Chains A and B, each alone.
Chain A
Amino acid sequence: GAVVSQHPSWVICKSGTSVKIECRSLDFQATTMFWYRQFPKQSLMLMATSNEGSKATYEQGVEKDKFLINHASLTLSTLTVTSAHPEDSSFYICSARDGTSGKETQYFGPGTRLLVL
């Protein structure tokens, strides 16, 4: 199946700093990418939908000025957590939609573990 990568796989940062997470579709072009966060023992929660060349669409309750999303190319989307706080510590997962199969299947990255001290 299609491969989606994320970088870094884990990051530790101090409170107040900003952290950038990259999501790449390695063998397909993705016009749409999605960002999720997941807390322990919980399901994935959609944060935003990222469309190449346009502004991201954020879910209700997600601060767009805090979670900056850029989808600059068909293979790369980035999530920047600005002025991170300990409550932002979570597992962040991206996905990319591969439309070539005709079924618009979503493939997920391995996730990024963020710990804010």
Chain B
Amino acid sequence: LAKTTQPISMDSYEGQEVNITCSHNNIATNDYITWYQQFPSQGPRFIIQGYKTKVTNEVASLFIPADRKSSTLSLPRVSLSDTAVYYCLVGDMGDDKIIFGKGTRLHILP
């Protein structure tokens, strides 16, 4: 399972675009990159998943460079309700398990 490194915390303001970068230097050929969001006292919520280049959905975009050793979650025009912990996970989801890192605590200010 590829180890991931994310910033421990980030602050931003309402209406701004927020980019959270995750490093995963040991990513394997079959690994996908998945991001989850977690609010206090709730289970993680799936945000986006990708393998290469760019993936976009109604919530976020995921940018993955050609070497796939990092990825960036982009949240457009954040609001106060986007304050949460964001986890970057890398693995072949067919693996027996995925391990959570420490995540990035995002704090949106008014």
Contacts and interface: CB of A to CB of B under 8 A. Distances in A.
Nearest to B101: A43
A74 interface: no
Given A43-B101, A46-B99, A103-B32, A108 B44 contact: yes
A1 interface: yes
A49 B92 CA distance: 15
A36 B97 CA distance: 11
Nearest to B87: A43
* Size bracket of the A interface: 20 to 34
Interface of B: 32, 34, 36, 41-46, 49, 87, 92-94, 96-103
Interface string A27-43: 00000101010000001
B97 A34 contact: yes
A97 interface: yes
Interface of A: 1, 4, 6, 32, 34, 36, 43-46, 49, 57, 91, 93-95, 97, 99, 103-111, 113
Given A44-B44, A105-B34, A111-B43, A49 B103 contact: no
A57 B102 CA distance: 23
Contact of B49 (A95, A103, A108): A103
Given A34-B97, A43-B87, A43-B103, A109 B43 contact: yes
Contact of A49 (B41, B44, B96): B96
A93 B97 contact: no
A94 B98 CA distance: 12
Given A103-B93, A106-B93, A108-B45, 8 more contacts: A45-B100, A46-B98, A49-B96, A91-B41, A95-B44, A104-B92, A105-B93, A109-B43
Contacts of A110: 42-43
Contacts, number: 57
Q: Chain A contact residues: over half helix, strand or loop, or mixed?
A: strand
Contact of A111 (B34, B42, B93): B42
A98 to B, nearest CB: 9
A88 to B, nearest CB: 17
Contacts of B93: 97, 103-106
Contact of B43 (A45, A49, A57, A93): A93
